[in-house]
């Protein structure tokens, strides 16, 4: 296990923390951000699979998003919870896109995160259709992690982080 407190934002070793591992395995969508052909930003929710070294996102070929990422492959990914306080994993990297005939195993794996029985019929149906699919892989080059308990956004105000041990000791001494 990696101690997240001592690793700076941007360090890819943050992927080895319990929090990052939990978010990468969760049945929640990632949010993929990329630059569109008109040079404006786009962000969309997408199912994903973590293979231990890359975030793999799949879809049916040929998609507009894949065409845009081929032209400008630098992307950002956010995987986060709705709970309070939120837990957030931020990833930056370069998208690589490939195409394949038939149901991609990463597509099935991402769908099964919600429960194999619930999606079995759907995956069987897709396998019979043998769709043309695309695989979008992103190898992290920058990683950020926030839990708003021990890790905060860079530049967060001190009041957000709560009282420090020093502050608490000073207040106790004055009382």
**CA 78 distance to own-chain centroid:** 4
Which pLDDT band, with edges at 50, 70 and 90, does 164 fall under?
low
The rounded distance, in Å, linking the Cα atoms of 47 and 109 is: 10
Q: Is the pLDDT of residue 169 over 70?
A: no
The rounded distance, in Å, linking the Cα atoms of 123 and 107 is: 9
Query: What pLDDT is recorded for position 2?
Result: 55
Q: Is the pLDDT of residue 97 over 80?
A: yes
Averaged pLDDT for residues 74-95: 96
Averaged pLDDT for residues 41-47: 97
Q: What is the pTM of this model?
A: 0.85
Q: Is the pLDDT of residue 126 over 90?
A: no
The rounded distance, in Å, linking the Cα atoms of 52 and 41 is: 28
Question: Which residue has 């597509």 as its token pair?
Answer: 107
The rounded distance, in Å, linking the Cα atoms of 89 and 83 is: 14
Which pLDDT band, with edges at 50, 70 and 90, does 44 fall under?
very high
Query: What pLDDT is recorded for position 5?
Result: 65
Instruction: Compute CA distances 29 → 25, 34, 52, 81, 136, whole Å.
Output: 11, 16, 17, 10, 15
Q: What is the DSSP letter of 121?
A: H
- 21-25, 53-57, 127-131: least confident range: 127-131
Number of H helices and number of E strands within the chain? 6, 7
Averaged pLDDT for residues 27-51: 96
């Amino acid at each position: 296990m990696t101690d997240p407190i001592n690793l700076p934002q941007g360090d890819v070793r943050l992927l080895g923390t319990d929090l990052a591992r939990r978010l990468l395995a969760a049945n929640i969508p990632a949010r993929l951000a990329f630059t569109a052909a008109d040079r404006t930003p786009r962000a969309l929710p997408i199912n994903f699979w973590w293979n231990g070294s890359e975030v793999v996102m799949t879809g049916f070929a040929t998609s507009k998003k894949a065409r845009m990422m081929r032209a400008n492959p630098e992307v950002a990914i956010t995987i986060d919870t709705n709970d309070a306080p939120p837990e957030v994993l931020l990833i930056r990297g370069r998208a690589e896109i490939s195409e394949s005939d038939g149901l991609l195993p990463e597509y099935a794996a991402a769908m099964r995160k919600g429960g194999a029985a619930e999606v079995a019929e759907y995956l069987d149906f897709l396998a019979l259709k043998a769709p043309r699919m695309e695989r979008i892989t992103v190898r992290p080059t920058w990683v950020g992690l926030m839990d708003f308990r021990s890790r905060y956004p860079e530049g967060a105000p001190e009041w957000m982080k709560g009282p420090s041990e020093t502050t608490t000791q000073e207040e106790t001494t004055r009382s």
